[in-house]
Amino acid sequence: MGRRIIWQLYPPYILLILAALTVVIWYASTSVENLYRERTSADLYSRAVLIEQQARHLLTQDRHQALDSLVKELGPDSKTRITVILTSGRVIADSDEDVALMDNHANRPEIQQALEGERGVSSRFSNTLKKSMMYVAIPLVSGDRIEAVLRTSIPVKMVDETLTTLGNQIAVGGLIVVVLAALISLVITRRISRPIERLRQGAERFAEGDLSYQLPIPSTEEVGGLAQSMNKMAAQLDDRLRMVLRQRNEIQGILSSMVEGVLAVDPEGRLLNLNEAAAEMLQIDADQVRGRSVRDVIPNEQLRDLLTHVLASREPVEGAITVGEENDERYVQGHGTLLIDPQGKSIGAVVVLNDITRLRRLETVRREFVANVSHELKTPITAIKGFVETLLDGALDSPEDARRFLTIVADKVDHMTEIIEDLLALSRIEQDVDKEEIRLERGNIREVLEAAMDTCVGKAKEANVDLVMECPEDLYARINNPLLEQGVVNLIDNAIKYSGERDKVDIRAEAKNGHVVISVIDHGSGIPPEHLPRLFERFYRVDKGRSRQLGGSGLGLAITKHIALAHGGEISVKSELGQGSTFSIAIPHTLEATGDIAPVSW
């Protein structure tokens, strides 16, 4: 993450100010130092000029001792060292030292310059006084000849102390200027950076989705124009996002409400989108598979192959797909085509999945129904034809054989008649349900069960099976008495067939969860679990050989199922091998007070 703009602007400003101030202070200090040294030099020259006449007068009279006394008297008063040196370099007068002890000064720079007739100026360390000094020397001229050199000097320490004081004052002033400049720069930088910082904060709010936020407009023309442009951009983005979101919601709503599965992939085979119907068909989580490769998230190889063919073909592609486990297979018809952008370039593919499981199962049931009807009718017809041919071949001449064969023919005809009547009854019930012509009236359930038991009691006695009923006397529901009685009879008849001798069949009715539940319970061999889902199909038999031996058309349970549906209810079965089976019809309950349950048996 980059630095804030204030820290990008402020430090360079400070560095620039420091650099400029450093140059100014250096230049000012150097100029002041040079100026002060020049003024000090001029002051020493003035002091030399003041005593020049006296020194020349005493020098021309060779009064060297008087001259030495003069400089020793004037030097301390003016805080100046005064020295007189002959052209030979010998010191004849000095305000601070004994001239007899002083070295020859002919080689001093200022002395040499003065001997040439010029003003001599020099700063150096004095071996006599053991400190740095500034010297100014002027020639003492008598006539046309230089007789000696008059030199004035002061310690450099005095100059340095003065320059140091000036330097400190300049430094303090510079520091004050730096602080003031830093504060002014900070204020200016913040005035520049604050609007930009507000623009950044506003842009962050835009990025977070708050496009309704309005940036404040600064007074600066450039930044104000930028803020206005950003506000306009945010408003346009907000409008477009709302439109896109509305269109997306509409598309998602359409896809979610479709019973067909829809999935889309990009050219690389990654899932772009799929609706809930497709996710449910393929048994995958829609939220977890988006953006992932089809080969990683869709285990169905048939669908993967279909998608591959769709992406490789410019024409629509169809294919049949089987999904689900072996015992719960679903059949899906896939229709796929390429997704083409306005430039004609492929951007992926879309596949629509239609669940045709119900149609396939209905087709299977239809084929099995035709095959079963054909088989159920063919068997007695073949038997009848065989016995008729036998009679025609001479069996009629034997009265006993003729009677036996005709009796069998009559039984086969009765069986065929039963099948046809049950088919007609089933068809009639289905038509009446479709046309809503079945009348339901408030009826007593116990009376229906008693009538059904009366119908089946003879067959029960023949099979040595007891029928036991438990039903409240005041249990009512909206029913069609003949139809419901027929359904219960079918269940009781079926229970008697599959019960052993001295077994009992329980017929119970009770109000439960807003329904009247009629249950017929046998204690026979039970039904294997794999047969239960198809038990109510037409002509479906668990044990075909035994079922035909026991008689019946094979349509009883299918008729009972449609009778339950005609009452707005349903039929169900529970069974355990070796424990028996329970068939139940549940129909909507008419709320009435129920009395005590009174067992009835025959």
The residue extents of the domains of the chain are 19-156, 258-355, 360-431, 439-601
* Banded model confidence at residue 433, pLDDT cuts 50, 70, 90: low
* 569-597 pLDDT per residue, tens: 899 999 888 888 999 999 988 644 443 33
CATH for the stretch 439-601: 3.30.565.10
Tokens representing 86? 């002959």
Which range (243-247, 501-505, 536-540) has the least confidence?
Answer: 536-540
pLDDT band at 372 (very low <50, low <70, confident <90, very high): low
Give backbone dihedrals phi and psi of 61, rounded to 5 degrees, phi first.
-95, 5
**pLDDT interval class at 545 (50, 70, 90):** very low
Q: Which of 40, 25, 28, 38 is nearest to 158 (CA)?
A: 40
The pLDDT of residue 600 is above 50: no
Q: Do domains 19-156 and 258-355 have the same CATH topology?
A: yes
What is the dotted CATH code of the domain comprising 19-156?
Answer: 3.30.450.20
Mean pLDDT of 238-249: 84
CA distance 309 to 601: 69
Backbone conformation region of residue 554, classed left if phi is above 0, alpha if psi is from -120 to 50, else beta: left
Please check whether residue 125 is in contact with residue 149, taking contact to mean a CB–CB distance below 8 angstroms: no
- What's the residue count for the chain? 602
CATH number given to 258-355 = 3.30.450.20
Closest CA relative to residue 37, chosen from 126, 175, 110, 135? 135
Nearby residues of 373 by Cβ (< 8 Å), 6 or more positions away: 419, 423, 539
Please indicate, yes or no, whether the overall pTM of this predicted structure exceeds 0.75: no
* pLDDT tops 50 at residue 602: no
Instruction: Note the pLDDT of residue 521.
Output: 92
Q: Tell me, what's the pLDDT at 593?
A: 40
Instruction: List pLDDT tens digits, range 553-563.
Output: 567 788 888 88
Instruction: Provide mean pLDDT across the span 420-428.
Output: 68
**Annotation: CATH topology of 360-431:** Helix Hairpins (1.10.287)
Calculate the alpha carbon distances from 350 to 136, 581, 594 in Å: 106, 49, 60
What is the pLDDT at residue 599?
40
Check pLDDT > 90 for residue 519.
Answer: yes
> Is the pLDDT score of 57 beyond 70?
yes
Note the pLDDT tens digit of each residue in 381-422: 777 788 787 777 777 777 877 788 788 778 777 767 766 776
Q: If phi over 0 gives left and psi between -120 and 50 gives alpha, with beta otherwise, what is residue 556?
A: alpha
Report the DSSP beta bridge partners of residue 558.
none
Higher pLDDT, 263 or 1: 263
Q: What angle do CA 69, 72, 73 make, to 5 degrees?
A: 85
3-state helix, strand, coil in the chain (%, to 5): 55, 20, 25
Q: What is the mean pLDDT of residues 122-134?
A: 76
